[in-house]
Structure 1
Amino acid sequence: MKILAIDDQQLVLLPLEKRLVALGYQVKTESNGKAGMESFESFQPDLVIVDMNMPDVSGLDVVKFIRNIKKSNTPIMVLSGNTNDEIITESFDLGINDYMKKPLSLNEICARVKRLIGVEAINSTKNFNNTIIEQRCVGVVIPCYNEEERLLSVEFLDFVDKHSGYHLCFVNDGSKDNTLEVLNKLRKGRESFITVYDCEKNGGKAEAVRLGMLHMAKKTDLDYIGFLDADLSTDLADFDDLVSTIENSDYKIVSGSRISRMGADITKESARKVISLTINFIIRKILQMEFKDTQCGAKIFHKDVIEIAFNNKFLTKWLFDVEIFIRIRKHFGLDRAKQILCEKPLKRWIHADGSKLSMKDSIKIMGQLGQIAWVLR
């Protein structure tokens, strides 16, 4: 049996297509409504799966085309994050057979497909990973410098396999070891979900993050883009919580906070903690905002503020996070900036061995704070 899947987000289509093909169905995918309508005529599917929220030609337009113009009774399943009651009601009035609200698992989607058009393959009873089809698609930039020994490849791969809405971009910052080789092996077989951006020369974490964020901003199917440390001192589950926060709010930036709270598993060397608290006090005075932890290496951004935050090079090597907040404050004004910036406590954070920020570097940061304050005064 043939299935036509139409969705403007590739991170949704790819795992859906892979699973349905594994079950024995013949699958064709289209990334926009117009192409979907053309394929309906040429492909003649036994089932159409369509998203509602697509630009130009919406999923509702596709349903109207199939039912009203082509006068076809081909089963239609809607897979969408649109929960508008009027849209859902109109869809059923037009004759759709099912309406599935994201997020939901691939297992559930396939069960609904089998119920609607029957079981196609001998693999129909095979157990698959319960991958989640997300409502939003997220890009994550991970700067890497000499991470050959520390890169937790298994954790990254497991996360990508279970969370379809993520695209990871590893930025090799001119590493001297075999980091680039490790990253290319990590990407193999998952090219649609993992990108390796190679910087031939080491430019520092700030520049690696900046280039990675601008690169990911070119991908049209991403809703949010963030960055995360390669050592996973903030784990991927916590990062997913940051994404959920920005997805269900009007915030433009959500930043992780390592400040301890009840039930949190947060560890850090005491000397570094004292210096960090001193630095944070100065940062709050510069920003005129009560941020408890600007330097956490886990942040997520709404796509429409990426250019504001990352278009220009940063002044400093380690304090680019502060510069980001200053750029947002200068662009939107202090009052508005306070409304669109959010600091969310992390459940877990561990200072990983091998950190490239030494005690001496921490002291140098004091001077860089003075540089920022002077240049951006």
Structure 2
Amino acid sequence: MKILAVDDQQLVLMPLEKRLKELGYIVKTTTNAENAIDLYREFEPDLLIIDINMPGVSGLEIVQYIRIKITATKPIIVLSGNTDDKLIVEGFELGIQDFMKKPLSLDEISARVKRLIGSPVTENLQVSTNSILQNRCVGVVIPCYNEEKRLKSEEFINFIEKNSGYHLCFVNDGSKDNTLQVLQSLRKGRENFISIYNCEKNAGKAEAVRQGLVYMSQFKDLDYVGFLDADLSTDFQDFDDLVKTIESTNFQIVNGSRISRMGANITKESARKIISSTINLLITKIVGMPFKDTQCGAKIMRKDLIPVAFQSPFLTKWLFDVEIFMRMKNHFGSEKAQKMICEQPLKRWIHADGSKLSIKDSLNIGFQLIKIYGTYTLTPLFTKTKPDFQKEDSLNPLIK
């Protein structure tokens, strides 16, 4: 039994293809909707699974061509995040047999496929862990510097195996220990879901995150990109909640916030609490936005923002979060920028030992804030021009 699956997002097709092959089906997939008709004629599948919203040619146009021009009667399932009732009705009128709304589980998809065309294997099969096919694809940058002993490899593996639609990009920021070897071991066998961006020299967290995001901007099937600390002080459950917020709203950035409150487990060192409160007061004045916490290492944004916020290097190594918001403010204007940003409290944040922020760096923060204020606020006032943050700088990384 043969199945053809068509979707413009490879991160959706890969777990679907794997599950269907485990069930004994012969499977072909394509992200190119314009080639779907030729592949359908050549492959002659017993079942077509197709998305609706694809660039160039829509899924329903392909369904219409198959039913009217080719006059093929084999079953068709639409698998889409589009919940427009008119389109769903139109699909059934064109002759589809089923409509599956993302997100949904691989187990449910398997059951629906078996109901339509049966199962090629009668005995019990061992299939991979059930996961949810999402309606969006997310790229996550994880900066790493000397993380050989702190990197929680099992947690990263468990997450990508249970949650489809994620691609993790680990940026090795010139580590002096065996971090790169640990990352290569983590990636082995998971190359479709994990990338390693290797920087030969240590340039700091800001540059590691920036280069990772510029690299991920080349991934065509990603809807959102973000970054997360390697020690998982913010866990994946909270990060996934940030993603759910941005995909269900019009916000351009959702910023995690480590606000201590009842019902949340937010653990910081006492000294860090005092420093954070003082710094945040200064940042609020400089940014001109009522943030509670700009410095949380968990953020998610629409991929279109990368040229605005990340194309050119940051002034500072540790306060680049402030620079992101200043760049948005200068680019979009203060009022519009505030409407584009959501600050979402985390349910959990646990301080991990081994922080790369030294006492010297902490004492230097005041001077860095003055530098940010002068560059992003005073310079545009005196020159009557805005800093050019979209000028592309040359990148010459070693990408593995």
Same fold (TM over 0.5): yes
Distance 1:240 1:13 in 2: 20
Distance 2:260 2:84 in 1: 39
> What code does the residue aligned with 2:357 have?
L
Residue 188 of structure 2 is matched in structure 1 by: 188
Show the 5 A alignment for 1:337-348. 337-348=337-348
1:168 has 2:168 as partner: yes
> What code does the residue aligned with 1:92 have?
F
SS in 2 for 1:376: helix
1:314-339 Cα distance to aligned partner (Å, 9 max, x none): 00110000000000001110110010
Structure 1 position 38, deviation (Å): 0.9
1:84-138 Cα distance to aligned partner (Å, 9 max, x none): 0110000000010000000000010011000110011256543541111000000
Structure 1 position 63, deviation (Å): 0.5
Residue 219 of structure 2 is matched in structure 1 by: 219
Stretches of structure 2 lacking an aligned partner (at least 5 in a row): 378-400
Residue 145 of structure 1 is matched in structure 2 by: 145
1:257 has 2:224 as partner: no
Residue 246 of structure 1 is matched in structure 2 by: 246
CA pair 29-124 structure 1, distance change in 2 beyond 3 A: farther
Show the 5 A alignment for 1:67-86. 67-86=67-86
TM-score by length of 2: 0.93
1:314 has 2:297 as partner: no
> What code does the residue aligned with 2:324 have?
I
Distance 1:253 1:298 in 2: 11
Query: Is the contact made by 2:23 and 2:127 (CA closer than 8 Å) also made in structure 1?
Result: no
Of 120-129 and 355-364, deviating more is 120-129
Query: Is the contact made by 1:23 and 1:124 (CA closer than 8 Å) also made in structure 2?
Result: no
Q: What is the percentage of aligned positions where both structures have the same residue? A: 64
> What code does the residue aligned with 2:40 have?
F
Residue 10 of structure 1 is matched in structure 2 by: 10
> What code does the residue aligned with 1:98 have?
D
Distance 2:32 2:127 in 1: 31
Structure 1 position 364, deviation (Å): 1.1
Residue 334 of structure 2 is matched in structure 1 by: 334
1:334-366 Cα distance to aligned partner (Å, 9 max, x none): 110010001000000011011111333212111
> What code does the residue aligned with 1:294 have?
T
SS in 2 for 1:78: strand
Distance 1:150 1:291 in 2: 30
Residue 31 of structure 1 is matched in structure 2 by: 31
Structure 1 position 12, deviation (Å): 0.5
Distance 1:342 1:187 in 2: 32
> What code does the residue aligned with 1:7 have?
D
Residue 66 of structure 1 is matched in structure 2 by: 66
Structure 1 position 238, deviation (Å): 0.4
Of 112-121 and 353-362, deviating more is 353-362
Distance 2:369 2:146 in 1: 27
Distance 1:122 1:44 in 2: 23
CA pair 127-218 structure 1, distance change in 2 beyond 3 A: closer
> What code does the residue aligned with 2:113 have?
V
Structure 1 position 54, deviation (Å): 0.4
SS in 1 for 2:170: strand
Distance 2:25 2:292 in 1: 52
Structure 1 position 33, deviation (Å): 1.4
Of 61-70 and 2-11, deviating more is 61-70
Count how many residue pairs are aligned between Structure 1 and Structure 2.
Answer: 377
Query: Is the contact made by 2:22 and 2:125 (CA closer than 8 Å) also made in structure 1?
Result: no
1:56-101 Cα distance to aligned partner (Å, 9 max, x none): 0111111111111111101000110000011000000001000000
Query: Is the contact made by 1:24 and 1:123 (CA closer than 8 Å) also made in structure 2?
Result: no
> What code does the residue aligned with 1:5 have?
A
SS in 1 for 2:289: coil
> What code does the residue aligned with 1:141 have?
V
Query: Is the contact made by 1:272 and 1:359 (CA closer than 8 Å) also made in structure 2?
Result: no
Residue 236 of structure 2 is matched in structure 1 by: 236
Structure 1 position 36, deviation (Å): 1.2
Residue 106 of structure 2 is matched in structure 1 by: 106
Distance 1:251 1:240 in 2: 15
SS in 2 for 1:304: helix
Of 126-135 and 93-102, deviating more is 126-135
SS in 1 for 2:41: helix
1:6-60 Cα distance to aligned partner (Å, 9 max, x none): 0000000001101111111000001021111111000000000000010001111
Show the 5 A alignment for 1:82-101. 82-101=82-101
> What code does the residue aligned with 1:34 have?
E
Structure 1 position 304, deviation (Å): 1.0
TM-score by length of 1: 0.99
SS in 2 for 1:225: strand
Distance 1:234 1:184 in 2: 23
Query: Is the contact made by 1:22 and 1:123 (CA closer than 8 Å) also made in structure 2?
Result: no
Distance 2:167 2:343 in 1: 23
Residue 352 of structure 2 is matched in structure 1 by: 352
> What code does the residue aligned with 2:140 have?
V
Distance 2:127 2:34 in 1: 35
1:305 has 2:305 as partner: yes
Query: Is the contact made by 1:137 and 1:221 (CA closer than 8 Å) also made in structure 2?
Result: yes
Distance 2:152 2:336 in 1: 38
Residue 274 of structure 1 is matched in structure 2 by: 274
SS in 2 for 1:167: strand
CA pair 370-123 structure 1, distance change in 2 beyond 3 A: farther
Structure 1 position 171, deviation (Å): 0.3
